[in-house]
């Protein structure tokens, strides 16, 4: 392998050349695209200094020209409904993808990468589904693929996993990565309102979309969990690998019961390294589900629509990152940070560290991870029921950390909290309890953060 002269070893490569403009194509002009255009204008002098050359927006691709042509932020900027023609231009160096959806942006991003353009995307669904294909294309062309805005907007967790913890070993990532569901759960906890009322409030205030499915069913958080697990464990984890359970079944009673035990229910994305007894990694897992968090844990006090991500690494210990996880301006901040990185590399040479799945751990199914269950059931109020049910747990090898029984009009409420056991075993015992003659109803099953 040839080793170059000392001069060209590092830095000051003949790239675009210091001072030359970096051409940018922006695909999509929704909330984030509009904010990106506004900030590019406001910060242009600063960005030029930070990049080493000015950003020049070559055009903005939109689906409906009529809707945007009179908007002030595209004044003097080429507007087109032909995204392909825009990204194929020779004077475009970086493509910013802000369209949403998966298939159409996938084609555009692949085409851009293959043509030597670096790409910045905020599209979590795209990255969670196709990081492998996109990274391969970026690597083949020697260009950058950045997606900080795909996870928790301006909270720089992707950059942190990409770079800051590059000399460490990430053990676990757990976080609140969806603002809509955190707003709903927080509203329920603060006001005692039902899930339905809290969702209506979130919709009214613009925190939930007209169709809230992707948020409340946990799909959005699952995409982010896949991205975090892939970066953190150097293993390809896709959206389909992530167990996903949303918040639609959480009731005001669940929230109240959590309060009674000094806990808070949060929708957590959990990415975990599974170790054998000798401490060797046997696989990784990513999942999203409502989780009881002790009130003295920093994640418990993350309120409103804020996001927070907890990272545990071998040497660094516990780190937490907190901020706005959504919204036009915070997402645009992350997009612009990535754009400066990609543009800087076009001017100065070099590439950002790419997704790097060298470790290639087995992605372990959810049934094999260890969970703790908080089971709330209504049982017949007769002598011997508690002993009978306790024996079921014990025969399944599950030990209990707490049992609480309360009388009520329609039978007895029995609350059982287990120690950590394999998810599959816990799930089987819930099935068995459901079919037990003395169990009238399983009112809720909520996992505890281990």
User: Could you confirm whether 249 is annotated as catalytic?
Assistant: no
The 352-391 site mask, x for binding a copy of itself (CB under 8 A), equals: -x--x-xx--------------------------------
Residue 32 marked ligand-binding: yes
Task: List the interface residues with a copy of itself, window 139-168 (CB under 8 A).
Answer: 142-144, 148, 153-156, 159-160, 163-168
Least gap, CB of 321 to a copy of itself (angstroms): 6
435 binds a copy of itself per the rule CB under 8 A = no
Using the minimum distance from each CB to a copy of itself, give the nearer residue, 30 or 142.
142
d(CA 351, CA 107): 22
Q: Is 218 annotated as a binding residue?
A: no
Q: Please give the residues from 28 up to 67 whose contact with a copy of itself meets the rule CB under 8 A.
A: 35, 39, 43, 46-47, 49-50
Q: How far is the CB of 54 from a copy of itself (least distance, A)?
A: 14
Q: Which helix (H) or strand (E) element contains residue 229?
A: helix 219-233
Among 193-201, 272-280, 346-354, 404-412, the segment contacting a copy of itself (CB under 8 A): 346-354
Distance CA 366, CA 362 (A): 12
**Site track 217-236 with a copy of itself (rule: CB under 8 A), x = hit:** -----------------x--
438 touches 380 (CB < 8 A): yes
Q: Give the interface segment with a copy of itself, choosing from 177-185, 241-249, 335-343, 418-426 (CB under 8 A).
A: 335-343
Q: State which of positions 234-253 bind a copy of itself (CB under 8 A).
A: 234
Nearest to 370 by CA among 282, 247, 238: 282
Whether 28 has a binding-site annotation, put simply, is yes
Residues paired with 23 in a beta bridge: 56
Nearest-approach distance from CB 72 to a copy of itself, in angstroms: 18
**Phi/psi zone of residue 422: left (φ > 0), alpha (ψ -120 to 50 degrees), beta?**
beta
Token pair for residue 6?
Answer: 């000392």
Per the structure block, which two tokens stand in for 399? 């030990």
The DSSP secondary structure of 27-96, one letter per residue, reads: E--SHHHHHHHHHHHHTHHHHHHHHTS-EEEEEEE-S-HHHHTT-GGGTTS-EES-HHHHHT-TT--EEE
From the candidates 16, 224, 266, 346, give the one annotated as an active-site residue: 224
**Candidate residues 105, 175, 212, 337; the one interacting with a copy of itself per rule CB under 8 A:** 337
In the complex, what is the shortest distance from the CB of residue 279 to a copy of itself, in angstroms, rounded to a whole number?
11
User: Distance from CA of residue 174 to its chain's centroid?
Assistant: 10
Measure the CA angle with vertex 47, ends 306 and 342; round to 5°. 80
> How is residue 24 written in tokens?
């940018």
Smallest gap, in angstroms, from Cβ of residue 395 to a copy of itself?
A: 42
Half-sphere exposure of 149 (CA within 13 A, CB side): 27
Q: Rounded to 5 degrees, what angle do the CA atoms 206, 209, 212 make?
A: 130
C-alpha count within 13 angstroms, C-beta hemisphere, residue 299: 31
CA within 13 Å, CB half, 320: 13
Binding positions for a copy of itself, 315-334, rule CB under 8 A: 315-324, 327, 329-330, 332-334
Please identify, using beta-carbon distances, which residue of 161 and 198 lies nearer to a copy of itself: 161
CB of 361 to a copy of itself, least distance (A): 12
Closer residue to a copy of itself, CB minimum distance, 146 or 195: 146
Q: Site mask, a copy of itself, residues 269-308, x = CB under 8 A?
A: -----------------------------x--x-------
* Region 98-117 residues binding a copy of itself, contact defined as CB under 8 A: 116
What span, in angstroms and rounded, lies between the C-alpha atoms of 367 and 384?
31
34 has binding-site annotation: yes
233 φ/ψ angles, rounded to the nearest 5 degrees: -110, 5
As annotated, the binding site for NADP(+) includes 27-34
> Active-site residue numbers?
224
As annotated, the binding site for L-homoserine includes 209
């Amino acid at each position: 392998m040839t080793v170059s002269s000392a001069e060209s070893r590092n830095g000051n490569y003949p790239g675009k050349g210091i001072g030359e403009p970096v051409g940018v194509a922006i695909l999509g002009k929704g909330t984030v695209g509009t904010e990106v255009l506004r900030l590019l204008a406001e910060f242009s002098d600063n960005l030029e200094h930070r990049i080493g050359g000015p950003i020049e927006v070559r055009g903005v691709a939109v689906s409906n020209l009529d809707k945007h042509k009179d908007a002030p932020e595209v004044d003097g900027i080429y507007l087109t409904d032909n995204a392909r023609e825009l990204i194929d231009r020779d004077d475009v160096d970086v493509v910013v993808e802000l369209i949403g959806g998966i298939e159409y942006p996938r084609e555009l991003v692949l085409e851009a990468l293959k043509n030597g353009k670096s790409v910045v995307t905020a599209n979590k669904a795209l990255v969670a589904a196709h990081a492998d294909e996109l990274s391969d294309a970026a690597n083949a062309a020697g260009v950058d693929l950045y997606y900080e805005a795909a996870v928790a907007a301006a909270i720089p967790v992707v950059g942190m996993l990409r770079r800051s913890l590059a000399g460490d070993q990430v053990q676990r990532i757990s976080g609140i990565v969806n603002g809509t569901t955190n707003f709903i759960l927080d509203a329920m906890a603060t006001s005692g309102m039902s899930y339905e009322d809290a969702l209506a409030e979130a919709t009214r205030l613009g925190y939930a979309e007209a169709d809230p499915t992707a948020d409340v069913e946990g799909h959005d958080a699952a995409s982010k969990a896949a991205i975090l697990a892939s970066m953190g464990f150097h293993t390809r984890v896709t959206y389909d690998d992530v167990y996903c359970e949303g918040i639609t079944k959480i009731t005001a009673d669940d929230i109240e019961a959590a309060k009674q035990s000094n806990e808070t229910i949060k929708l957590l994305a959990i990415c975990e390294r599974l170790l054998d007894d000798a401490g060797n990694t046997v696989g990784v897992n990513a999942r999203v589900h409502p989780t009881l968090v002790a009130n003295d844990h920093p994640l418990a006090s993350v309120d409103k629509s804020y996001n927070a991500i907890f990272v545990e690494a071998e040497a660094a210990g516990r780190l937490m990152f907190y901020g706005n996880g959504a919204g036009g301006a915070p997402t645009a901040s992350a997009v612009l940070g990535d754009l400066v990185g990609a543009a800087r590399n076009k001017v100065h040479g070099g590439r950002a560290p790419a997704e790097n799945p060298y470790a290639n751990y087995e992605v372990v199914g959810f049934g094999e991870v260890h969970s703790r269950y908080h089971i709330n059931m209504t049982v017949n109020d007769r002598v011997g029921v508690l002993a009978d049910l306790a024996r079921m747990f014990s025969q399944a090898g599950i030990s209990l950390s707490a049992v609480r029984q309360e009388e009520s009009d329609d039978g007895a409420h029995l609350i059982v909290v287990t120690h950590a056991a394999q998810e599959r075993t816990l799930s089987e015992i819930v099935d068995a309890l459901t079919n037990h003659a003395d169990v009238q109803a399983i009112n809720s099953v909520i996992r505890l953060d281990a």
